[in-house]
Amino acid sequence: MKPALVVGNWKMHGTRSEAVKLATGVLEASRRNLSVEVVLAPPFTALAAVSAALRCGAVRLAAQNLHWETEGAFTGEISVSMLRDLDCRYVIVGHSERRRLFGESDAIVAKKVGAALSAGLRPILCVGETLGERRRGRTNGVIARQLRVALKGLSKSAIEKLTFAYEPVWAIGTGKNATPEQIAAVHRFVRELLRRRAGLSARACRILYGGSVRPDNAAELAAQPEVDGVLVGGASLKVGAFASIVRSFGATAV
Ligand code: PGA
């Protein structure tokens, strides 16, 4: 059984010294929760410093983004080999902020997933619908499209290396949560798509929930059999809040 996975996505927050302080605090707090896999995704500028701070411990490193080319004239971009060089194990791909604010299409997300996998990085692939799409009854259609394009051409063994994060766009940074029923329905839908697409068994891949996860709702999420962990934004910026979320998942194994 894979352990529950709790990922902190720090987004565009923190200088190097702030990042190291936060990472060190999380590392200390996580020593008591060895049954949970804890991953931190600092901004690019803090990856090297956080990587060094995490060297002696079980907390793992993720990047928030990557470029799909191996190298070249791509001003401002970061390649997979640069991320591997910093001991990143995971990379977040297709976060709704990248899709919405930076124009990342499903096709670009697919290229990033492929590039990450070919270099041995594990993508955390984010999918999710907007409020308008949910109200129009398009939730499953949107998620099916995002997954179909992102997984195009991938083998079963490649897809098995992915982690999925269901992040309803309307729940991210808004304080609004999807209900346990809404989350379970989408997670089941994703598992069924993975079964049909690649013959994957229900527990082959972890499916995280993301969107306004906080200490006061983490226990309820951890109690959901469909939720294999969480992707945490705002609440990952405080050691106490993040550690409390990690603790909530401490008793669960998926
Ligand atoms: P939030 O962000 O926890 O601040 O809602 C979640 C995310 O963007 O992954």
pLDDT along the chain (254 residues), means of 10: 94 98 96 89 98 94 98 98 97 97 98 97 98 97 98 96 97 90 97 95 94 96 96 98 96 52
Mutate to test the pocket of ligand 1, among 231, 236, 238 (most ligand atoms within 8 A of CB): 231
Positive or negative, the Cα torsion across 98, 64, 231, 203? positive
Strands (E), 167-210: 207-210
Ligand 1 atom nearest 11 alpha carbon = 8
Q: How far apart are CA 239 and CA 73, in angstroms?
A: 38
Closest-CA residue to 147 (of 205, 102, 79, 64): 205
- Residues framing ligand 1 (Cβ under 6 A): 9, 167, 172-173, 210-213, 231-235
- pLDDT for the residue 253: 45
- pLDDT for the residue 70: 96
Domain ranges of the chain: 4-253
Q: Of 37, 104, 129, 167, which one is the catalytic site residue?
A: 167
Q: Which CATH architecture has domain 4-253?
A: Alpha-Beta Barrel (3.20)
For 55, other C-beta atoms within 10 Å of its C-beta total 9
In the block, tokens 């839908």 appear at 189
